[in-house]
C-alpha cells in the first residue's frame, strides 16, 4: 500500500488506509504500508518509511509546494522497497499515490489499484491553493485527468457519487471503476459508559451534549456549525458542544468573538484509539461537512458508537447513514440548529437511531465485511 501522507495523522485518508490494511490482513493478505518519514506508528500493520528528509519537519495533507519534489523522492524509495518486497499488487491512495504507483507499475509490471479520494484539482480550488480558470488550474486538470485515465488497472472510490463524478466529468472508463464505502473497526469504535467519560471531561451528567470529531476547517462546515451555535444561544439553549480535532486555535478565537465560548469544549487533536471513548460522552453527533469532494467516514465512527447523527442532506451522507440519519438542508445553519435541538429533545428517537446506526455498522461496514468486499474486487476485477 502506498500512502504518500504523514501517516498516521488521525485524518480520514489515513484512517481509510489503516482500516483497509487491517481488513485485508484479516482476510489472509500479506500487507505492507509504504509511507513518508513523518507520522506515528500504528499497531497491527507493518509500516515501512522512506529515509528521513532532513529539512522537511512537517508535510501538510493539503496541497503544498513541497509535494512535487517530495513525490519524486518517494517514488525512488518506493521502487527500491518494492523490488525487495515483490508485491503481487500495489494499492495506492490519492492522486499522488497513483502517480508514484504508476511509475512502479511501469518498472515492475505489478497491477495497480488507485484509491480515488475525490478530485485533487477540486480540493486545490476549495483550499484556495489555485484559482479556478487559472493556468495552474488548467495544468492540474490535465494532470489529474492523465492520472485518472492512464495510471491504474482499477480505480476504487469511497462512494457511489465519487464514482459517478469520475466516470462523468472526468471521463474515466466505467469498467475500470469500482465503488466501496468506508469500513469501521466496530471492536474499537463502540459505546462506552457515558457518565464515566463525562466525569473525566468534567461535563455535568444532565447537560445535552453534541459531539464532533474531525478536521476543523471551512470545508468540514465548522464555520456553519458555529453559526448554528450562535442561533441556539440566542434562544437560550442549554446545549453544549464537544469539538474534537485540529487546528482549533482559529475556531477557539472565533468562538470567543461570537460570544459562544462557554457552549464549546475544544479538545484539539484526539488520537484515533481514544476517539471512541470521547465520542461516548455525547447524546448526539453532528457532521456539518459542506465539501462535496470525497466521502464522510466519520459518520461510521459515530454509528459504531451508537450516536444518532445530524448531517447535511448530500449523497455521500445518505449513502452511509441511510435511515439512521437526521438530515438538515444542505449548508443551512438555521436548519442544522433546528434539527440538533429537535433530536436532543426526543430521547426515544435518539435511542432508535443509535441502535439502528450500530446495527448498520456491524452488519454492513465492519472490517470483516470491508476486507471481504475489497478482496472480492481484487479477485473479480483484477483476476487475482
C-alpha to C-alpha distance for 336 and 314, rounded to whole angstroms: 13
| CB contact at 8 A, 324 and 356 | yes
Residues 6+ apart with CB under 8 A from 180: 156, 157, 158, 370, 373, 374, 377
C-alpha to C-alpha distance for 377 and 114, rounded to whole angstroms: 13
Q: What is the pLDDT of residue 58?
A: 66
- Report domain extents, the chain: 2-183+367-382, 194-364
Considering the four listed CATH numbers 3.40.50.1240, 3.30.379.10, 3.40.50.2000, 3.10.129.10, the one that applies to the domain covering 194-364 is 3.40.50.2000
| CB contact at 8 A, 70 and 53 | yes
Q: Which of 211, 220, 216, 195 is nearest to 344 (CA)?
A: 211
Instruction: With H, G, I as helix, E, B as strand and everything else as coil, classify residue 239.
Output: coil
Match 465503488 to its residue by C-alpha cell: 179
Residues 6+ apart with CB under 8 A from 141: 121
Q: Which of 78, 84, 73 is nearest to 106 (CA)?
A: 78
Per-residue pLDDT of the chain in tens (384 residues, 90 and over written 9): 999 989 998 888 899 999 999 999 999 999 999 999 888 999 999 999 999 887 766 655 556 666 788 899 999 999 999 999 999 999 999 999 999 999 999 999 999 999 998 888 888 888 888 899 999 899 999 999 999 988 899 999 999 888 988 888 888 889 999 999 999 999 999 999 999 889 988 899 889 999 999 999 999 999 999 999 999 999 999 999 999 999 999 999 999 999 999 999 999 999 999 999 999 999 999 999 999 888 899 999 999 999 999 999 999 999 999 999 999 999 999 999 999 999 999 999 999 999 999 999 999 999 999 999 999 999 999 987
C-alpha to C-alpha distance for 322 and 355, rounded to whole angstroms: 13
Q: What is the pLDDT of residue 170?
A: 84
Q: What is the pLDDT of residue 65?
A: 64
C-alpha to C-alpha distance for 124 and 168, rounded to whole angstroms: 20
Residues 6+ apart with CB under 8 A from 377: 154, 156, 178, 180
The domains spanning 2-183+367-382 and 194-364 adopt the same CATH topology: yes
Q: Give, as one character, the DSSP assignment of residue 51.
A: P
Q: What is the pLDDT of residue 7?
A: 94
Query: Which three cell numbers mark 266?
Result: 475544544
Q: What is the pLDDT of residue 384?
A: 73
Element containing residue 156 per DSSP (H, E) = strand 154-157
**CATH number attached to the domain at 2-183+367-382:** 3.40.50.2000
Neighbours of 369 (CB within 10 A): 17
Q: What is the pLDDT of residue 169?
A: 81
Q: What is the pLDDT of residue 66?
A: 67
How many helices and strands (H and E) does the chain possess? 15, 13
Query: Which three cell numbers mark 259?
Result: 460570544
Amino acid at each position: 500500500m502506498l500512502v504518500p501522507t504523514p501517516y498516521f495523522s488521525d485524518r480520514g485518508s489515513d484512517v481509510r488506509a489503516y482500516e483497509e490494511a487491517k481488513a485485508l490482513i484479516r482476510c489472509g493478505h500479506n500487507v505492507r504500508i509504504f509511507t513518508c518519514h513523518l507520522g506515528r506508528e500504528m499497531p497491527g500493520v507493518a509500516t515501512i518509511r522512506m529515509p528521513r528528509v532532513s529539512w522537511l519537519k512537517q508535510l501538510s495533507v493539503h496541497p503544498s509546494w513541497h509535494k512535487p519534489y517530495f513525490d519524486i523522492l518517494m517514488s525512488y524509495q518506493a521502487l527500491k522497497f518494492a523490488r525487495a518486497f515483490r508485491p503481487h499488487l500495489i494499492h495506492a491512495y490519492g492522486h499522488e499515490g497513483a502517480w508514484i504507483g504508476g511509475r512502479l507499475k511501469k518498472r515492475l509490471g505489478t497491477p495497480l489499484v488507485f484509491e480515488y479520494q475525490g478530485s485533487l484539482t477540486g480540493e486545490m480550488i476549495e483550499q484556495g491553493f489555485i484559482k479556478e480558470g487559472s493556468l495552474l488550474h488548467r495544468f492540474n486538470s490535465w494532470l489529474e485527468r492523465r492520472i485518472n485515465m492512464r495510471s491504474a488497472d482499477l480505480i476504487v472510490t469511497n462512494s457511489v457519487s465519487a464514482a459517478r463524478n469520475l466516470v462523468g466529468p472526468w471521463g474515466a472508463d466505467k469498467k475500470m471503476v469500482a465503488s466501496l464505502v468506508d469500513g469501521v473497526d466496530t471492536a474499537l469504535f463502540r459505546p462506552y459508559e457515558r457518565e464515566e467519560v463525562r466525569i473525566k471531561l468534567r461535563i455535568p451528567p444532565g447537560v445535552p451534549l453534541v459531539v464532533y470529531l474531525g478536521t476543523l476547517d471551512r470545508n468540514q462546515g465548522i464555520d456553519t456549525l458555529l453559526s448554528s451555535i450562535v442561533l441556539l444561544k440566542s434562544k437560550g439553549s442549554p446545549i453544549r458542544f464537544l469539538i474534537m480535532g485540529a487546528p482549533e486555535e482559529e475556531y477557539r478565537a472565533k468562538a470567543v468573538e461570537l460570544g459562544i465560548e462557554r457552549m464549546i469544549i475544544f479538545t484539539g487533536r484526539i488520537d484515533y484509539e481514544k476517539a471512541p471513548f470521547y465520542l461516548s460522552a455525547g447524546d448526539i453527533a453532528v457532521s456539518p461537512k459542506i465539501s462535496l469532494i470525497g466521502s464522510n467516514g466519520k459518520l461510521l465512527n459515530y454509528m459504531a458508537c451508537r450516536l444518532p447523527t445530524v448531517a447535511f442532506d448530500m449523497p455521500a451522507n445518505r449513502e452511509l447513514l441511510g435511515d439512521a440519519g437526521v438530515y438538515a438542508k444542505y449548508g443551512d445553519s438555521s436548519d442544522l440548529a433546528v434539527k440538533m435541538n429537535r433530536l436532543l429533545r426526543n430521547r426515544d428517537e435518539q435511542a432508535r437511531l443509535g441502535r439502528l446506526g450500530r446495527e448498520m455498522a456491524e452488519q454492513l461496514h465492519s472490517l470483516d465485511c470491508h476486507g471481504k468486499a475489497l478482496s472480492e474486487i481484487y479477485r473479480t476485477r483484477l483476476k487475482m
